[in-house]
Chain A
Amino acid sequence: DIQMTQSPSSLSASVGDRVTITCRASQGIRNDLSWYQQKAGKAPKRLIYAASSLQSGVPSRFSGSGFGTEFTLTISSLQPEDFATYYCLQHNSYPWTFGQGTKVEIK
């Protein structure tokens, strides 16, 4: 199975900060990676697909990059509505696997 190691597990940041979250795959997954945002009590929402493509309707402050084994999600200027938990998901090979999640909290 492909392991997805996501870091950090949590972070505290202020509105306006630049935030970067990383996912590392245990083996190459090309760009078969998505990023999701989950708010408390809600279903996850996809932000990024194919590692770097912005989902329609998602603000442009979100961006993704990476290929192979190293991936990042960047929020260029954190907004109050961005405080949530973020997950990466690889769908390159079965079983699909999520990262452990990164909780973004208000500083």
Chain B
Amino acid sequence: QVQLVQSGAEVKKPGSSVKISCKASGGTFNTAGISWVRQAPGQGLEWMGRIIPIVGITKYAQNFQGRLTITADKSTTTAYMELSSLEPDDTAVYSCAKGVALDPWGQGTLVTVSS
């Protein structure tokens, strides 16, 4: 059974960047695709983007164009999400999820952006 384990909580200053990892174990990684979804406090789910590691194809939501980068390291079965030019409104829980099913999910990483 695939398990996704994310890196820990982050506190960032406005204008800085954050990079979160998502390590997959126990199943397919290269072909399934990994999506990143965020959820601001008390808000809904927001799909950010996706990578299919085997071909290195990435797709991003328009809201994040230019400041979101999703990468993957096939050798370590780890996906990464880097968001730059952080603002307080980027404070959220960021989660990775596998495949079209978005199943399973990582445990979520809280990113707090505050001066």
Contact yes or no, B101 A96, CB < 8 A: no
From residue 44 to 58 of chain B, which have CB atoms closer than 8 A to chain A?
44-47, 49-50
With A95-B49, A95-B61, A96-B50 in contact, is A44–B44 under 8 Å at CB? no
B75-114 vs A, CB cutoff 8 Å, 1 = contact: the mask equals 0000000000000000000010100111111111000000
How many B residues, CB 8 Å from partner? Answer: 22
With A91-B100, A95-B59, A97-B47 in contact, is A44–B105 under 8 Å at CB? yes
Q: Could you say which of A43, A94, A101 has the most chain B C-beta atoms within 10 Å of its C-beta?
A: A43
Contact yes or no, A43 B49, CB < 8 A: no
> What size tier do the contact residues of chain A reach?
20 to 34
Contact yes or no, B60 A98, CB < 8 A: no
The listed residue (A1, A46, A98) touching B103 by CB distance below 8 A is A46
Contact yes or no, B44 A43, CB < 8 A: no
The listed residue (B47, B49, B95, B107) touching A98 by CB distance below 8 A is B47
Contact yes or no, A46 B61, CB < 8 A: no
A7 proximal to B (CB < 8 A): no
B62 proximal to A (CB < 8 A): yes
Contact yes or no, B101 A101, CB < 8 A: no
Contact yes or no, A89 B95, CB < 8 A: no
Number of CB contacts from chain A to chain B under 8 A: 50
Closest to A94 in B: B59
The listed residue (A38, A45, A95) touching B62 by CB distance below 8 A is A95
Contact yes or no, A46 B47, CB < 8 A: no
Nearest CB in chain B: distance from A46 CB, A: 5
A1-39 vs B, CB cutoff 8 Å, 1 = contact: the mask equals 100000000000000000000000000000000101010
B21 proximal to A (CB < 8 A): no
A residues engaging B (CB < 8 A)? 1, 34, 36, 38, 43-46, 49, 85, 87, 89, 91, 94-101
A-B contact pairs, 17 of them (CB 8 A): A34-B101, A36-B45, A36-B102, A43-B95, A43-B105, A43-B106, A44-B105, A87-B45, A89-B102, A94-B50, A95-B59, A95-B62, A96-B50, A97-B47, A98-B44, A98-B45, A100-B44
